[in-house]
């Protein structure tokens, strides 16, 4: 099963536009440079907090990505808009269920 990275962080209100503008380039950099990157969702929470949900093929792929940090311009630009880290967690997908229509 895949690995999920859950990163909760704060962004100052005057940096939200920067964060959102940097997101497409960050995802393009991830796709080009990060083995095992599958998908990402960015969730806006109350009080200037955000939750980034990133899916990796394996825990090893996530660990390798973490080691690279902000090594490319799009990733560095996204990280620069973040004011502070609230929490970071990693988990393994236990089950996948799609809604039926």
Contact of 41 with 53, CB cutoff 8 Å: yes
Token digits of residue 77: 């630009």
Tell me what the pLDDT averaged over the chain comes to: 96
Task: State the DSSP H helix or E strand holding residue 78, giving kind and residue range, or none if neither.
Answer: helix 73-80
Residue 101 lies in a domain: no
How much is the pLDDT for 97? 85
pLDDT, tens digit (0-9, with 9 covering 90-100), for 35-72: 999 999 999 999 999 999 999 999 999 999 999 999 99
The reported pTM is 0.92
Residue 31 lies in a domain: yes
Q: Domain tally for the chain?
A: 1
If you average pLDDT over residues 2-15, what whole number do you get?
A: 97
Domain CATH for 20: 3.30.70.100
> How far is 57 from 18, CA to CA, in rounded Å?
29
How much is the pLDDT for 64? 97
- With cut-offs at 50, 70 and 90, classify the pLDDT of residue 78: very high
CA neighbours closer than 13 Å in the CB half-sphere of residue 15: 16
For residue 73, the enclosing domain spans 3-92
């Amino acid at each position: 099963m895949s690995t999920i990275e859950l990163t909760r962080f704060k962004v100052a209100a005057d940096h939200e536009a920067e964060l959102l503008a940097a997101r497409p380039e960050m995802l393009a950099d991830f796709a080009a440079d990060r083995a095992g990157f599958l998908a990402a969702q960015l969730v806006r929470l109350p009080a200037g907090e955000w939750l980034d949900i990133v899916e990796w093929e394996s825990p090893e792929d996530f660990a390798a990505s973490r080691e690279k940090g902000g090594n490319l311009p799009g990733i560095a630009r996204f990280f620069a808009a973040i004011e502070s880290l609230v929490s970071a967690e990693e988990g393994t997908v236990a089950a996948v269920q799609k809604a039926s229509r």
